[in-house]
Amino acid sequence: MLDNMRNPKPNSMTARQKLSVTIITKNEEAAIAACLASVAWADEIVVVDSGSTDKTVDICKAHGAIVHNSTQWPGFGPQKNIALGFASHDWVLSIDADERVSPELRAEIEQALSLNAKNVAYQIPRSSSYCGQFMRHSGWWPDYVLRLFPNALGKFSDDIVHEHVIFNGEIKTLKNPILHISYTDLEEVLDKTNRYSSDGATKLAARGKTASLSSAILHGIWAFLRTYFLRLGFLDGRIGFILAVSNAETTYYRYLKLMLLTEQKPTTSPENNA
């Protein structure tokens, strides 16, 4: 599959609107080359890097991407909007470093761009893997994400995590999925559980939400039940169970961190009466 992505079939279409691909990165040397190879057909690839200390930037430049450095980390939504600001073409495809565009999806995107549609954006199903297994249930399929849109008409929400594209117009759906190579092993699962629960707690606190120990426990239990039973995670086998537990832990820690975050009081120095 990846060999086909690196050497996609020539496109027979001659007239289509130009496309900028935008990607945000930080220490993605293990994944970024395959991502870039899958979109090498685009008219422009824009990367905004958040201070990578590995070979990410070198790999991006070697693949012809235009790399901009952003030492600050404002969150996923604001960072993706920064990337949008560097895109020079009329249409944008936003993807993540651990995502891939298959030759079939490429053909579908190019067909959409050839229609010269106005005030239309496209959502794309996303097929995600978890610890090496592509999930067909558990709420992970079909995971529609709006990623292809006119540059002047779309932007990302300012959410620091779980951002989404804001677009006021007609939304159509493409058939072929983005391939999402996520959570490659349990080490990555644990790392993202910590980071995403922290970002989620900050996001909820900014919205004025509060939590208690009991609400954290109940939210965690509900996340497991929703993933494993309501969203048929049990049909994904033992990996479906592992994912359901992971979702429960992430949710539990998100609300536990929110509880502790909102209980924090400003530290004041004792008055000096001397």
Per-residue pLDDT of 133-165, as tens digits, reads 999 999 999 999 999 999 999 999 999 999 999
Look at residues 181, 208, 235 and tell me which one is the last residue of a structural domain: 181
Domain contains 273: no
Based on the fold, state whether residues 86 and 135 are members of the same structural domain. Answer: yes
Look up the domain containing 207 and give its range: 186-263
Q: Is residue 141 domain-resident?
A: yes
Same domain, 19 and 53: yes
Same domain for 147 and 129, yes or no, is yes
Q: Does 26 share its domain with 54?
A: yes
Number of domains in the chain: 2
Q: Are residues 219 and 175 in the same domain?
A: no
Pair (57, 139) in one structural domain: yes
Please identify, among 181, 203, 234, the residue that sits at the C-terminal boundary of a domain. Answer: 181
Q: Which residues of 25-51 are buried (b: 16+ CB within 10 A; e: fewer)?
A: bbbbbebbbbbbbbbbbbebbbbbbbe
The reply to whether 135 and 114 lie within a common domain is yes
Label residue 175 exposed, middle or buried (CB < 10 Å: 0-12, 13-18, 19+): exposed
Q: DSSP character for 116?
A: T
Residue from 76, 56, 77, 73 nearest 65 by CA = 56
- Asked, for residue 57, whether it belongs to a domain, the answer is yes
Judgement on whether residues 144 and 197 belong to the same structural domain of the protein: no
Please check whether residue 159 lies inside any domain of the structure.
Answer: yes
Percent of the chain with pLDDT strictly greater than 70: 91
67 with 130, same domain: the answer is yes
**Residue 36, Cα to own-chain centre: how many angstroms?**
16
Q: What are 193-246's pLDDT values in tens digits?
A: 999 999 999 999 999 999 999 999 999 999 999 999 999 999 999 999 999 999
- Please state the three-class secondary structure of 196-246 as a single string: HHHHHHHHHHHCCCCCCHHHHHHHHHHHHHHHHHHCCHHHHHHHHHHHHHH
User: Which of 181, 198, 227 is the C-terminal boundary of a domain?
Assistant: 181
Share of the chain above pLDDT 90, in %: 89
For 218, other C-beta atoms within 10 Å of its C-beta total 14
Q: Specify whether 19 is located in the same domain as 130.
A: yes
Give CA angle at 153 (150, 154), nearest 5°.
85
Question: 219 and 151: one domain?
Answer: no
Give the model's pLDDT for residue 265.
55
